[in-house]
């Protein structure tokens, strides 16, 4: 089953991967897979909430595991992506927000996306 092989490339590292990245990694691992299959399975995995979309603002759609929820810091100049862990700081707040929308609008929250954009230290004097 190709979806397992797709899931396995996400286990290799923690960076968000585009469809092209997934394809490349699988081919590098000698797994024959078609582009269309990647798209179809990623879409399915997204619906099953195994993966989620990470849009880092550069027009490329990337995905990552929907577990171990980390966030991202993205440099607007060099596009470097740094994974950050805000769970301690945000956990209470996000739970509170979940409660609020559950009771106010009966909206059941399942996941979220949080990314920060700015200029990294290497790019500040360019």
Partner DNA sequence: ATATCTGCAAATTTTTTGCAAAAAG
Partner DNA sequence: CTTTTTGCAAAAAATTTGCAGATAT
Which region among 9-17, 58-66, 77-85, 113-121 touches DNA (by CB under 7 A)? Answer: 58-66
How many of the other CB atoms lie within 10 Å of CB of 61? 13
Instruction: Tell which one of 9, 16, 17, 41 touches DNA (CB under 7 A).
Output: 41
* Contact present, 50 and 34 (Cβ < 8 Å): no
Q: Does the protein bind DNA through residue 18 (CB under 7 A)? A: yes
* Contact present, 80 and 120 (Cβ < 8 Å): yes
Q: Please say which residue, 29 or 61, places its beta carbon nearer to a second copy.
A: 61
- Cα–Cα distances (Å) from 1 to 39, 42, 64, 78, 111, in that order, read 14, 13, 19, 37, 26
Instruction: Tell which one of 61, 87, 95, 99 touches a second copy (CB under 8 A).
Output: 61
Residues interacting with DNA, by CB under 7 A? 1-3, 18-20, 32-37, 39-41, 43, 59-61
């Amino acid at each position: 089953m190709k979806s397992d092989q797709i899931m396995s490339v996400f286990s290799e590292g923690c960076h968000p991967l585009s469809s092209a990245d997934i394809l490349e990694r699988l081919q590098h691992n000698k797994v024959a897979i078609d582009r269309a299959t990647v798209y179809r399975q990623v879409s399915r995995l997204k619906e099953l909430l195994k993966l989620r979309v990470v849009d880092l603002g550069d027009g490329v759609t990337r995905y990552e595991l929907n577990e171990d929820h980390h966030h991202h810091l993205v440099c607007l100049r060099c596009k470097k992506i740094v994974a950050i862990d805000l769970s301690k700081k945000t956990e209470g707040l996000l739970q509170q927000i979940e409660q609020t929308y559950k009771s106010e609008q009966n909206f059941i929250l399942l996941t979220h996306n949080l990314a920060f954009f700015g200029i990294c230290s290497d790019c500040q004097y360019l």
